[in-house]
Amino acid sequence: MLHFRHFHKSYGRHTVLSIESKTISPGIYWVKGTNGSGKSTLLKSIAGFLFFEGEIHLNNISLKKNSVTYRKIVNFADAEPVFPDFMTGREMIDLFVKAKGGPRGQETYFIESMRMAPYLNEPLGTYSSGMLKKLSLLLAFLGNPTLILLDEPLITIDTESLSVLYDWIRLMEREQKTTFLLSSHQALDPYALAGAKELFVKDQTLS
């Protein structure tokens, strides 16, 4: 269960989101809202990247009081990922595997299914936007996440890769009971993600 209590996020005097109390049960969710409504802010707050007032708990683990434990089970992929140009894709994967404590060799399935092996030893500064996107998505699936947050996961990847991503989501939700929050301007495939629920960011709140 993901729970918000007295959550408030603002930039200066401008309130972006205010959620008095909200509980999100396990499952797959499509976070919807207009441009500037606060979808990315919501996901980055849940991931622990932004300061906010109030509390966020995941399975009774507080982001603020138990941040190390919380961050171990919450993964995030940005809409437009940025990585150090001098590192390779393989180095980034090895770093995340160690940080997230995933099972040995876990990354192999994701690398092979997304056909990333040919360029993983190249510097990230040489990657196209699509290659960076695939790497960002792969990193979000490493470890043993209870919650995966994907900000605009459908952009800058081709149709074949999108089908693979849907396979990953179904696999993690089915076998590990991982909850997903996906923010996307593009419609999710209702057949690929059957049963996905909708969350609306509107009028500075979540419903």
Inform me whether the pLDDT recorded for 104 exceeds 90. no
Question: pLDDT of 126-145, one tens digit each?
Answer: 999 999 999 999 999 999 99
Longest Cα–Cα distance in the chain: 48
Band of residue 7 on the pLDDT scale cut at 50, 70, 90: very high
Identify the structural domains of the chain with CATH numbers, from first to last. 28-37+73-206 (3.40.50.300)
The pLDDT assigned to 102 comes to 84
| Cα separation, 1 vs 58, whole angstroms | 6
The pLDDT assigned to 196 comes to 93
Distance linking the first and last C-alpha atoms of the chain: 16
